[in-house]
Amino acid sequence: MEVHNISPVLIQNANFGIIVVDSSFHIESLNQAACEILDIGGNPVGTPLDKVLKEAAGDGSQTLTQALYDNNASPVNVVINGKLKILEISAANLFTPKSVKEGVVFFINDISKAGDSAKASKDDLNLETIGRLASEVAHELKNPVTVIKGFSQLLLKKQYDEEQITDFLEIIFKEAERAHSFIQDFLNLGKTKKLHKKQINLSNLIADSVAEIEKQCFLNGIGIVQQIETSSKILGDYNQLKQALVNLGKNAVEAMELCDGPKRLTFVLMRDSLRDKIYIKVIDTGNGIPPQLQGKIMTPFFTTKKYGTGLGLSITKTIVEQHGGKLQLSSSDHGTTAIIELPCQTINQEAVP
């Protein structure tokens, strides 16, 4: 993706600072809000970001640079041209279709202006989320669209034999599917989808979910264990709950793909009759989630994967909560356990007001 192709309208109209840098941290573009927040005069495009920050913040530029590279949403205090400012900074990497890092986009919110700091942090959280969302959506769609455009152009040249044309069409189809599935996930995010509830057999649900990821497990030498300790049925939306389990299963597989040692994916189904709850656990033997990331993993678009959308866990959480349940993850460096807790609701209970 060419960094300067990020929508200029989006950059200029945002009321929070946006700075886009190329892979050598030279400024590609920035908006008016960024110039105002950092008190940048003239046209800094093409200038190294460090240099511009030094001019703006003098001694404070180190704190600012550190905050930019840490990509930590906690506010930092910086003196810019003699004025104390409280800034919240976040960043997202930009990649080429071949996954080469091509630049970074920084989002900067000045929360010092609002007198009420509680309100400021609430508003800025929204701005940060919107900024990240816009950049992630652009990033996720830009890659497949670039590939589709490139291969369609090749096809239009009509210079290729049938076999090559089939290869190109397959690539186009795969990328269109990727974009379609992203858009689908994006549209479903946060939406309370109408559930089609019926009595479902949870061991069948687990078996069906396992079938979806079996091939990926086999290819990665991952053994699958199904520990079914109860024959419970609950009232739920089969397809939605299956999607939740497949999302957790995929995360587990992806966590074990590159790790050493025994690779095991365990699905546990158990019932706590006293509390009237069902538990479905998805346990992996991967390297776990680093403690500093554990608070972020449910945030939409948070991902540590090259091709991840970062929507899997948010979608799973929404589905589980729509069923009156809870999703929890616990992790150590020996692996991760995702626990879905669901109420043991049956058809008869649902009929009771």
Q: Which residues in this chain contact ligand ATP in the complex, by CB under 6 A? A: 247, 251-252, 255, 284, 286, 288-289, 297, 302-305, 308-313, 336
| Six token digits for residue 96 | 């080429």
DSSP code string of 253-298: HHHHTT--S--EEEEEEEEETTTTEEEEEEE--S----GGGTTTTT
Pick between residue 3 and residue 329 the one whose CB is nearest to Mg ion. 329
Contact 249, 282 (CB under 8 A): yes
| Six token digits for residue 335 | 């692996």
Pick between residue 67 and residue 253 the one whose CB is nearest to ligand ATP. 253
Contact 42, 120 (CB under 8 A): no
Please state the closest distance from residue 206 (CB atom) to Mg ion, in A. 18
Q: Residue 191, Cα to own-chain centre: how many angstroms?
A: 17
Give me the residue whose beta carbon is nearest to Mg ion. 312
Query: Is 236 among the residues that bind Mg ion (CB under 5 A)?
Result: no
Pick between residue 167 and residue 177 the one whose CB is nearest to ligand ATP. 177
- State the binding partner of 202 from ligand ATP, Mg ion, none, CB within 5 to 8 A by kind: none
- State the binding partner of 285 from Mg ion, ligand ATP, none, CB within 5 to 8 A by kind: none
- State the binding partner of 101 from Mg ion, ligand ATP, none, CB within 5 to 8 A by kind: none
Query: Is 312 among the residues that bind Mg ion (CB under 5 A)?
Result: yes
Enumerate residues 6+ apart whose C-beta is below 8 A from 267: 206, 209, 210, 224, 225, 226, 227, 245, 249, 280, 281, 282, 283
- State the binding partner of 209 from Mg ion, ligand ATP, none, CB within 5 to 8 A by kind: none
Query: Which span sits near Mg ion by CB under 5 A: 124-132, 148-156, 279-287, 307-315?
Result: 307-315
Enumerate residues 6+ apart whose C-beta is below 8 A from 299: 310, 314
Please state the closest distance from residue 285 (CB atom) to ligand ATP, in A. 10
Q: Which amino acid is at 102?
A: E
Cα distance between residue 41 and residue 53, in whole Å: 11
The single residue among 232, 251, 314, 316 that binds Mg ion, judged by CB under 5 A, is 251
Pick between residue 9 and residue 258 the one whose CB is nearest to ligand ATP. 258
Q: Which amino acid is at 249?
A: G
